[in-house]
Structure 1
Amino acid sequence: MHLAGYRALGLPFTYVPFRVTDLGGAITGMRALGIRGLGVSMPYKQEIMPLLDEIDPLAARIGAVNTVVQEDGRLRGYNTDCVGAVRALEELGPVKGARALVLGAGGAGRAVAHGLADAGAAVVVANRSLDKAEALAAEVGGSARGADEAKHAARYDVVVNATSVGMGEIAAESAGQRLGAPLRQAELRPQTPVPEDAMRPGLVVMDIVYKPIETALVRAASRRGARVIHGGRMLLHQAARQFELYTGERAPLDAMDAALREQIARLG
């Protein structure tokens, strides 16, 4: 996506992956080499924060950084997951005034909940650990429920899966292939955090999981007539915001979207 965007605008940028085992050393290297920006993935989104010179106020509220930009030798951290989630949802319409259920209170859940609240949605956070849900709900002016609130999804306008549920099947299959061991049927059963019969036509359902793109939740929501947003849309929009921070240019969304769609099709 990033490379396609740079090519579309004729910018002399490139975007490459680094496998980092020494986070402090990587940040020192960023300063020394004059690297303009870094995208930060798990497990470093919290650990990187004290190594930076400044934290954007939104990223500070969320408590996670996924983007670092260097300006005049100073490193500033941002969170674009938040923007990406809201922009993906707003492809189907405004979220202001919507009743939104966010499943999960981890890093992704925090970004989604803060984004929805800032956009004017009434947020309910549901999580297995109720104390984490209550803490996040207090931050965003929402309310908290246990994980079983997913059974009442039809009461809401928007439901967002911000947990890792849905990645289990592909992870289990990969593990089985590596180990050469047969897996029990239960280990391969597609998982969805929302029961299919809890969803209804017209409900907006977004899954942040993008590997695989078509998760069990996406399939179930589609069968129930819900309006579905797969994880690739949030991925696209958070990358577009990163692009803008790195380059100072408006992201060429069509070019980036085409590159993402091509990759999704290639991965099947």
Structure 2
Amino acid sequence: MSFQLGLIGYPIKHSLSPWIHKKFLRASNLEGEYSIIEIDPGLNFADQMEKFKQNRIDGFNVTVPYKQKIISYLDHVDEEAQNIGAVNTVVNRNGKWTGYNTDSIGYVRSLEAKYPEAFTQKSTRILLIGAGGAARGIYYSLVSSGFKQIDIANRTTESAEKIAKHSYVNTNVLTLTSAERRLGRYDIIIQTTSVGMKPNEDRSIISLENLKESSIVSDIIYQPIKTKILSAAESKGASIHFGHTMLLYQAQYAFEIWTNQKMPVNDMDDQLKNILEGR
């Protein structure tokens, strides 16, 4: 069997997904192709999806601006993707399309791979910064992983409250100012907003003045690799976690869905870091 895989979105010509999945295909000794399929928002999306179904693609990733729009064209949506409200991976099973969200599970896998000890203690106290789609997905995956204390800090508390009200774990909703004051209480701080992304890499969403040295600080941004908040955390002696690893592990989970093979990341972490630092 030769797998026909791809990525839809716009613009996506510079996506690193083909690099990742072609490496997975080679490492698994599976035949297949992974193609970039740009769909201009000016085109009729329904027509494009009909062509896709006729071509019998085995699976594809979905990125902006179609993570929500794709849902109405699917035959089934995984429960976690339903909770998150976005799909980034679709698999074709006997002509039926099922949608998943591998971003959040991929993020949690990447964090566990780097800091497995944090996952052995479910009393670990976590602070999520931000309340957008990425935060919502990561929140649900952390809950599924068994963590019992996950607070959310955001500029406006309404969005954070919408995430927290559907959970059975302990969640305090905080302003960013309040989170800064309480920062020493947390074992893991996860930054999920776009603050600090190129070309505004000189910005940081909160001060880490009250950060404790034993904390882990994670940022899902990967351009730049070491954001201002990660540099500040490192200078205070805390452990840091890079956002580019989420790319690898969400792709690992997508590949697993398509092929039933879980491929090890191995040194792809360093290879991807080098590629991104060269951009």
Q: Same fold (TM over 0.5)?
A: yes
* Aligned position for 2:256: 244
* Aligned position for 1:143: 172
Unaligned runs of 5+ in 2: 1-19
Q: Which amino acid aligns with 1:59?
A: A
* Aligned position for 1:196: 208
* Aligned position for 1:111: 137
Give the 4+ runs in structure 1 shifted more than 4 A: none
Q: Give me the whole-angstrom Cα distance separating, in 2, the residues matched to 1:265 and 1:6.
A: 25
Taking a change above 3 Å as real, the CA distance of residues 243 and 257 of structure 1, as seen in their structure-2 partners, is farther
Query: Percent identity at matched positions?
Result: 35
Total equivalences in the alignment? 249
Please state whether the residue corresponding to 2:179 is helix, strand or coil.
helix
More helix by share: 1
* Aligned position for 1:37: 59
* Aligned position for 1:56: 78
Of 180, 194, 200, the residue aligned with 1:164 is 194
Contact kept? 1:82, 1:115, Cα under 8 Å: yes
Please state whether the residue corresponding to 1:100 is helix, strand or coil.
strand
Deviation digits for residues 148-180 of structure 1 (CA, Å, limit 9, x no counterpart): 23313221111101111111xx235xxxxxxxx
Q: Which amino acid aligns with 1:37?
A: G
Q: Give me the whole-angstrom Cα distance separating, in 1, the residues matched to 2:156 and 2:68.
A: 20
Tell me the TM-score normalised to structure 2 length.
0.83
Please state whether the residue corresponding to 2:161 is helix, strand or coil.
helix
RMSD: 1.8
Unaligned runs of 5+ in 1: 173-188
Q: Give me the whole-angstrom Cα distance separating, in 2, the residues matched to 1:255 and 1:72.
A: 35
Deviation digits for residues 217-240 of structure 1 (CA, Å, limit 9, x no counterpart): 111111111110010111111111
Deviation digits for residues 132-152 of structure 1 (CA, Å, limit 9, x no counterpart): 111101123323122323313
In terms of mean alpha carbon deviation, does 82-91 or 55-64 score higher? 82-91
Please state whether the residue corresponding to 1:2 is helix, strand or coil.
helix
Q: Give me the whole-angstrom Cα distance separating, in 1, the residues matched to 2:179 and 2:24.
A: 38
| CA drift at 1:16 | 2.3
Tell me the TM-score normalised to structure 1 length.
0.86
* Aligned position for 1:222: 234
* Aligned position for 2:156: 129
* Aligned position for 2:12: none
| CA drift at 1:201 | 0.9
- Return the structure number with greater relative CO, CA threshold 8 A, min gap 6: 1
1:2 partnered with 2:21 = yes
In terms of mean alpha carbon deviation, does 84-93 or 102-111 score higher? 84-93
Contact kept? 1:2, 1:256, Cα under 8 Å: no
Q: Which amino acid aligns with 1:118?
A: S
Q: Give me the whole-angstrom Cα distance separating, in 1, the residues matched to 2:140 and 2:68.
A: 16
